[in-house]
């Protein structure tokens, strides 16, 4: 079956540009997560959705970061006025339910480079 997909896989942006990163979770998965991963580090939590509700956005680094999941399936992470420090891999993960101890399944990530 299809796993989590993300697009684009690579994005180069000039400083100050806005970018939009897309995540298609596994069909039927209730929970969706966005992470930021710097080179040589583990993923850092950004935000969490349960269906269309954004229940936790405590990891978003600034108000330039915005995420949505309007119909409870596809999600978009938008970064406004990109800065060089935004360069990283952005990972999306989904899990079947909202229960604890659920396994999170990851997409391949979007590698963002801000010049």
* Residue range at the interface with another protein (CB under 8 A); choices 14-22, 61-69, 71-79, 100-108: 100-108
Cα-Cα-Cα-Cα torsion 112, 9, 89, 60, nearest 10 degrees, comes to 80
CB of 89 to another protein, least distance (A): 9
Distance of alpha carbon 22 from alpha carbon 95, whole angstroms? 17
Q: Which is nearer to another protein, 6 or 82 (CB)?
A: 6
Q: Which is nearer to another protein, 14 or 40 (CB)?
A: 40
Looking at residues 78 to 97 of the shown chain, list those that interact with another protein (rule: CB under 8 A): 91, 93, 95
CB under 8 Å to 3, separation ≥6 — which residues? 26, 105, 107
Decide if 21 contacts 90 (C-beta within 8 A): yes
By the criterion CB under 8 A, which residues form the site for another protein?
4, 31, 33, 40-45, 48, 56, 91, 93, 95, 98-109, 111
């Amino acid at each position: 079956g299809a796993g989590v997909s993300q697009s684009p896989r690579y994005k180069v942006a000039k400083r100050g540009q806005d970018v939009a990163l897309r995540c298609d979770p596994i069909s039927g998965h209730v929970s969706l997560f966005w992470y930021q991963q710097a080179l040589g580090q583990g993923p850092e939590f950004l935000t969490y959705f349960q269906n269309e509700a954004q229940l936790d956005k405590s990891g978003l680094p600034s108000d330039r970061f915005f995420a949505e999941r309007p119909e409870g399936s596809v999600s978009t992470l938008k970064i406004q006025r990109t800065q060089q420090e935004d360069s990283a891999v952005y990972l999306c993960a989904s899990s079947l339910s909202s229960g604890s101890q659920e396994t999170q399944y990851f997409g391949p990530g979007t590698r963002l480079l801000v010049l």
